[in-house]
Amino acid sequence: MFLNVVFRTHMGLLPNISAQVWDKGQLDTTRNLTELFRALRPYRESLLKEAELMGLPPVRHGILVYPEDRTWFNNAPGRAEKGCSAGQSIGLHQFFFGDDVIVAPVLGPRQEQVSVYLPEGAWVHFWSNKEAQGPLYSSWDAPPGRPAVFYLQSSPWASFFFDLSRRFVTGPEALDVGFV
């Protein structure tokens, strides 16, 4: 929903053992995230206009948004793997969608939590409406269909993101975050 030019669906090389967006167990998640993609249109259009005028890509590495913060190049705690440590930096495990949204995708199978670095400022977790004060590196729930997404509380788009969050957090969860 944040990478409109990268995401594509096809059956892949192993369709019989790979989840597909149209599978019965995936259909609700696909529908909800497609609706969220559509709802993000005004923000995405503003980013595309900014790209046209200033040359900034809509999807950005943290160093483009917070150039004074060298944390983007620190190794991500708990990410060390055998062999080469290249690619383990925090900045390669999350990205900005414009200057106001941080996305930390789940990159491993059966993983439902991700570690996220939030730079200076007050950030709001999209799904829980919880505020976190950066700089902070912490773990967040990211179950299927609920990627770790944060928006900057001081963003001119904050009320837009808050309204979207209210719209997409439903059921008992809405009571937990005070959206009812």
Q: How does pLDDT run across 130-139, given as a tens digit for each residue? A: 999 999 999 9
Give domain 57-176's CATH superfamily: Golgi alpha-mannosidase II (2.60.40.1180)
Q: How far is CA 121 from the centre of its chain?
A: 17
The pLDDT, as a whole number, for residue 23 is 74
* Domain-wise residue ranges, the chain: 57-176
Q: Output the six-digit token pair for 163.
A: 């309204």
Percentage above 70 pLDDT, the chain = 82
- What mean pLDDT comes out for the span 123-129? 96
Helices (H) and strands (E) in the chain — how many of each?
5, 6
Question: SS3 for 123?
Answer: strand
The pLDDT, as a whole number, for residue 159 is 97
CB atoms inside a 10 Å sphere around CB 45: 11
The pLDDT, as a whole number, for residue 113 is 94
Listed in sequence order, the residues at least 6 apart from 44 whose beta carbon sits closer than 8 Å to its beta carbon are 4, 58
The pLDDT, as a whole number, for residue 180 is 44
Kindly tell me if the per-residue pLDDT of 175 is higher than 50.
Answer: no
Confirm if 110 and 100 have CB atoms less than 8 A apart: no
Kindly tell me if the per-residue pLDDT of 95 is higher than 90.
Answer: yes
